[in-house]
Amino acid sequence: MPASEDLPYISDRDVESVLTIDELMPVMREALIEFSAGRVQQPVRSVLTTDQPIGWFGLMPAVYKDVLGAKLVTVFPENVKLGVHTHQAVIQVFRATTGEPLATIDGRVITAWRTAAVSALATQELARPDGRTLAILGSGVQARTHFHALRRVRGFEEVRIWSRNSQHAAACADELGGKAVSSAEQAVRDADVIVTATGSRDPILRGAWLKDDAHVNAIGSVGLQRELDVEAMKRAVAVLVESRESAMRESAEIVQSGAAIYAELGEIFAGSKPKPGRGITVYKSLGVAVEDIAAARFVYMKLDRS
């Protein structure tokens, strides 16, 4: 992994040329196992909130294997009105032994796919094996990446898509071969696997709608935002997270409901914690730095060897 005198910038197109969901899933699995085993240095992300327009800027550093790095990420919800991505990011990676910079890597594509890859791993472990109905609440980038990732682990026969913007839902459904529905309840009722990826500040998924063995990947809320109501959290037999520390600081859904965290995903993947019994399961995704740094390391090494 040589350092270059001319620090390379790896663009989103470069990332897309080497990053596949099938290769990324085992990378994410290993990174989360290492994290839960205590072999990763990673503080909880720090966030600077901006106003006019409202947005936030996050710093996410970690040391993983032979690299250290940080993702700098911004989220500006009003960008959607401008036709600009709401999430923007770059990842800076360094050699862990000397601190030499190795590359600056576009982080937007990595963020989109690493999030979906971890949800696919959670679904593979937690959702019923014969699940055939997928409900996606949201119609943006994460709706699309989750559709493609979750199809790797379950043979869905029906995909329902709902969005607060019905035109966006219809366009997303047309693109993915799903069915746009008129309400979140219509999407969720009797669904085996549910993805919430809306960024809504207030709950859009009600626990009363969930079937008794549904699995939920809760993606789109951080901080004070909540996509799942208290009943959904309390009905779950198990709530799983990437990091207990991050979840207790960053998930209003967990903190406000008082839901107990059953395990970190890395503990389930490693077999150090048994899979939960039959019932509703919720994977509360927040995104942690080791995922970004592990994915960036994977991209850098593939490009460096090509």
**Predicted confidence (pLDDT) per residue in 181-193, tens digit:** 999 999 999 999 9
Whole-number pLDDT of residue 78: 87
The β-bridge partners of 223 are 251
Q: Which CATH superfamily is domain 9-110+290-305 in?
A: ornithine cyclodeaminase, domain 1 (3.30.1780.10)
Do the domains 9-110+290-305 and 125-288 sit in the same CATH topology, yes or no?
A: no
Q: Return mean pLDDT, the chain.
A: 95
Q: Which residues pair with 283 in a beta bridge?
A: 217, 240
Q: What is the mean pLDDT of residues 167-173?
A: 97
Whether the Cβ atoms of residue 65 and residue 297 lie closer than 8 Å to each other: yes
Q: What is the per-residue pLDDT for 169? A: 97
- Distance separating alpha carbons of residues 24 and 299, to the nearest angstrom: 10
pLDDT of 306 > 80? The answer is no
State the distance between the two ends of the chain, measured CA to CA, in whole angstroms.
12
Tally of CA atoms within 13 A in the half-sphere of 68 that contains its CB: 12
Comparing C-alpha atoms, which of 62, 68, 63, 106 is closest to residue 87?
A: 106
pTM: predicted TM-score of the whole model, two decimal places: 0.94
Cβ neighbour number for residue 302 with a 10 Å cutoff = 16
Domain segments of the chain as ranges = 9-110+290-305, 125-288
Question: What is the pLDDT averaged over residues 286-305?
Answer: 95
- Pairing of β 67-75 and β 55-64: antiparallel
Separation of alpha carbons 200 and 220, rounded Å: 7
Confidence of residue 251 (pLDDT cuts 50, 70, 90): very high
- Rounded distance, CA 143 to CA 113, Å? 11
Q: Which two tokens stand for residue 282?
A: 């919720």
Residue 224: predicted pLDDT = 74
185-220 pLDDT tens trace? 999 999 999 999 998 889 999 999 999 999 999 998
DSSP 3-state percent helix, strand, coil across the chain (nearest 5): 40, 25, 35
For residue 51, pLDDT beyond 90 = no
> Which pLDDT band holds residue 1 (cuts at 50, 70, 90)?
low
User: Does CATH place domain 125-288 in 3.40.50.720?
Assistant: yes
The two structure tokens encoding residue 8: 């390379």
8 Å CB contact between 100 and 74? no
For residues 65-84, give the mean pLDDT: 92
Tell me phi and psi for residue 48, to 5 degrees.
Answer: -110, 120
pLDDT digits (tens, 9 = 90+) for 99-157: 999 999 999 999 999 999 999 999 999 999 999 999 999 999 999 999 999 999 999 99
